[in-house]
Every structure is written in structure tokens, then in C-alpha cells.
Structure 1
Amino acid sequence: MVRWRRILGGLAAALTVASMGTLVSASPASAEPDGPQKVVGGTRATQGEFPFMVRLSMGCGGALYSPTLVLTAAHCVNRTGATTSITATIGVVDLNSTSKVTRRSNYVYRAPGYNGNGKDWALIRLSSPVTGFATLPIATTTAFDSGTFTIAGWGAATEGGGQQRYLLKATVPFVSDSTCNSSSMYNGQIVATDEICAGYTAGGVDTCQGDSGGPMFRRNASNAWIQVGIVSWGDGCARPNKPGVYTQVSYFSSAIASAAASLGG
């Protein structure tokens, strides 16, 4: 089973060199050595469509929580503490674009008590603010934790594939905890309080390796984007009866806001 949906640091760097001619390295301190998660079945996003999307150099995604903070997955980083080893790329759908904005990290906050089973969120503080890009508010109640969600990322387009140059997007439907935990799907592996599932019973559309930490989002009552999930894990990519599993942001909204405040964001 491919659990996490991040590309391993060394592999991500190698793929970046091979496909884009630019080396963006990640030290062992910035990402865990083990752990799996492009958007499978997606279409190319247009420039400016999702201005809050962030690509992280360890092979993960993220979203701008504030001008100085990126919300991502805990399994994309290995500890809370100072680090300058992560590069965030912002403001483009094409990672080769000369108009991309980059920032180095200066601190990582990983969810307290994270042990690989739920609590899969983290904040990365940037060395200086980015301006001119929309941030992505997080859901603070369960009101938006159902319906149809949008997913986006630069991860693999097929299970086991490499990261993509262009940002892809797709939509996936909510899957209830009871259905996702059924014997035909994840057989009790879902942490119902911490996680939310989304995908099609038939498969075909999903996040995949390299999408970890990226947002799952939808429109709120005011038709603005709101983040309801963080790409976390799944059994392979886009397999039948194996929907994507996402951190349920609403459950952690207070903890995320508190951590953000402590980081000055």
C-alpha cells in the first residue's frame, strides 16, 4: 500500500533536475525519509486560478495560510524547529515560469503528537512575506465538509509517476466516514475525527504522489474558496474503492490558528 502522498526528497530533487533543469534540494532535516503521496484524472489549471497554491521542494504541496505561512501535511516535515532547507514556489501553474516567486523557510511547526496516524498537518514559516497572492481560509466548522471538492497539485498523473511541470486540478465527491471505513474500502483505518475521504467508487480521479500537503477545497456560502482538507494518504492512486484520505481541517482549525499566531502569522 502506498500510504503517504509525497515524493521522497531525493526523488523529488532528481525529478526536478531531469524535468526542469533546476535543482531544488531538500535536506534530510526537512522531510521524513519514509512515507509515500499529480492529480490523477485532472486537467491543467489556468494561471491565477488558484493563487494560494504552493509547491514545496521536498516533493509536497501546500496552501498559503497567510503571507508568511504555508499549511501542509505533517508527514512532509520531520520535526518542529528552525530550518532553511525548504523552498516554496508560489504564483505560477508552470514551475518553469520565470515569473514564479520563491521563498526559503525559516521555521516549521509540526502538529503536536503526530505519529503517522491522524494529526497530519504542519505550518511552514517563510523567510519573508509574499504579497499579491490570495490566501486560503480554512474551515472552522463541519458545514463545508461534504459535497464536491476541488483538488490540485503538481504530483504524479499516474500511480508511481513523477511530478508534473504544470498544476493540475480535478473535482472529487465526499465519502462518508462509515463508507470509507467499510470492509470494501479502508476497513477501519480511517481516523474518523481527524480525517475526511473523497473520491469515486470507480476510481479514476484522485491525488497521488507529490500532492501531499496540498489543499482540498470548495466554495463557501459566499462563493469564496475555503480549505476543508489536506492531502494525506491513500492506497495507491485513483484505485476503485480507495478514495483519497485528507486531514479534516475543521477539526484542527483552533490548533492551526493558535500555532499560526505563535509563529506571527
Structure 2
Amino acid sequence: MRSWRTLLARTTATLAAAITVASMGALAAPGAAHADASVVGGTRATLGEFPWMVRLSMGCGGALYSSTLVLTAAHCVSSTGTNTSITATLGVVDLNSTSKITRKSNYVYRAPGYTGSGKDWAFIRLASPVTGVATLPIAKTTAYDTGTFTIAGWGAATEGGAQQRYLLKATVPFVSDTTCNSSSMYNGEIIASNEICAGYTAGGTDTCQGDSGGPMFRRDSANAWVQVGIVSWGDGCARPNKPGVYTQVSYFAATIAAAATTLGG
């Protein structure tokens, strides 16, 4: 069974407890537990370092694709259609900052044919545009689907831990489909055509619960950031031989671009 890296799969009671813990702990004053920890195994991001990072109120991450669209994971949303319940927060690394930008959603578009395995991408359309904030382009070919990637998010810094107040970052290496699907890792569970793995054999650095939908990205040939993955699932967080599994953005690039055009983004 896939372990999605979001709070959505938990019960309402568990979600409420996680939010309470977050508000009392990781989202409390600087110096609280895990305040200087990472996604799992990294460091705190600096203001403006990844301006297109988005925190979504249902407990997921995302990336600003255009002034009105946030690219996230399909498993973070329930269906395609009108939705005014989601709040997107961006423009800050500290979720308690008074300078944060917030926007409500007005529509959700979930990848056509998504059934819980593969095709794990979606758009959140914002009710009003975000101006003055950089967007994150997506990879349109497989040219950047290897090497070392950057991950970031406000998710747990330890498996089963609380959500974070500060944006945390780390780097992870590409893991080939063959290796990721080996018996010592995911034993054939990876959909090689449209999922990509990244992480260390020894574990220790990874995305975690609450990071779902956030981007995995790297520099392109012009030294600009480009999104190559969307945080999707994994077996626990930062376990040995269990790298993170990400939606392979390049595989869906044309479909994502067409959906964005339809949505006015």
C-alpha cells in the first residue's frame, strides 16, 4: 500500500491532533523542537530562495505554476470542480510571518484518469492572481530527470512528526527505475513510465508527511530552476533503501500545459 506524503489519508481526529501539535510545537516560537531541522535531514531555506513554494491548507505543498495556478499532487484533492475551501500561503518561509501572501481557491483540476496510482498531479486555481512572485517552470523533456535534486516543504522533519513552521530544504540524488524497482527497494511498485525516485541508499534525507504536492527541482542548462517532480509517496520517511517517489513531470508536461491553458493559466 502506498504511503502518501500528506495528512489527507489520516482520520479527522489524527489530523486535528497533528494540527494541534503543530500549533503548539513546530509552529510555535523560534527555537521550538525541530525549528532548525529539515524536511528530513537538511537545513532551513532563506527568504526568497524558493519564492514559488506554496503551502496548502489541507496539509500539502505545491509550486506556483502561473499567477493563478498552483501545481500539486492529485492525491491532495478529492475531485475536479469548483472548490473555494483551500487557502494557499506563499511569499514567506515562516508561516507565521505577517508578510505572507494568501489566496483562496476557486477551482480544482485533478489529473484525468487518476485512480490512486500514477498520474499524481493536480492544479489549484486561485481566486485572484499572485503578482510579484516568481513561478517555477516545469521540465518538458527528460533531459533533467537525473542528477541531484532539491526538495523543500513545510512537512514533518521526522517520520510521524509535526508539520513545520519554517520552509525546510535538502538535496537528494536520482535513483534509477531499475534500482528503485529492485527487490531491496520497492520490488516492482514504481510505475517506471511516469514516476521518478530520489534519495540515498542509507536513508536520512527525504520528503515526509505534509510535503505531498511540493516540487522536486534542479538547475537547467541556463542555471534556472526547473521542476522535475511532484512529491507523491514513499515507505515511511528517510528509511534506508526507501527513496522518495515523485510524479515525473516531464512525462505529463504536455497534458499539464494543456490543462493550464484550459484553466486560464
| TM-score in terms of structure 2 length | 0.91
DSSP 3-state at the match of 1:259: helix
Tell me whether 1:67 sits opposite 2:58 in the alignment: no
> What are the equivalent positions in structure 2 for 1:18-167 lying under 5 Å apart?
18-20=21-23, 39-167=39-167
The alignment's C-alpha RMSD in Å is: 1.4
- Deviation of residue 16 (structure 1)? 4.0
Report the alpha carbon displacement of residue 15 of structure 1 after superposing the two structures with TM: 3.9
**Are positions 1:244 and 2:244 aligned together?**
yes
Aligned partners of 1:16, 1:110: CA distance in 2, in Å? 25
Q: 1:157: Cα distance to partner? A: 0.4
Matched to 2:73, the amino acid is A
The alignment partner of 1:131 has SS state of coil
Question: How far is 1:20 from its partner?
Answer: 3.8
Distance 1:13 1:75 in 2: 19
Q: Tell me the residue number matched to 1:181.
A: 181
Q: How far 1:13 moved relative to its partner?
A: 5.4
Q: Which deviates the most, 11-20 or 141-150?
A: 11-20
1:200-242 deviation digits (Å, cap 9, x = unpaired): 0000000000000000000000100000000000000000000
Within 1, Cα distance between the matches of 2:204 and 2:150? 15
Q: Is the 8 A contact 1:13 1:57 kept in 2?
A: no
Name the count of aligned residue pairs: 249
How much does 1:17 deviate?
A: 4.9
1:114 counterpart letter in structure 2: Y
Residues 140-186 of structure 1, C-alpha deviations (whole Å, 9 max, x = no match): 00000000000000000000011000000000000000000000000
Contact 1:150 1:172 in 2 (8 A): yes
**1:39 match: secondary structure:** coil
1:257 matched residue in structure 2: 257
Structure 2 CA distance for partners of 1:191 and 1:2, relative to 1, 3 Å: closer
What TM-score do you get using the length of structure 1 for normalisation?
Answer: 0.91
Q: Structure 1: which 5+ residue stretches go unaligned?
A: 22-37
What residue is the counterpart of 1:34 in the other structure? none
- Indicate the residue corresponding to 1:200 in structure 2: 200
Deviation at 1:89, TM superposition (A): 0.2
Secondary structure of the 1:75 match is helix
Flag the 1:113–1:73 CA change in 2: closer, same or farther, 3 A: same
Q: Distance in 2 between matches of 1:43 and 1:94?
A: 14
Conservation of the 8 A alpha-carbon contact between 2:22 and 2:162: no
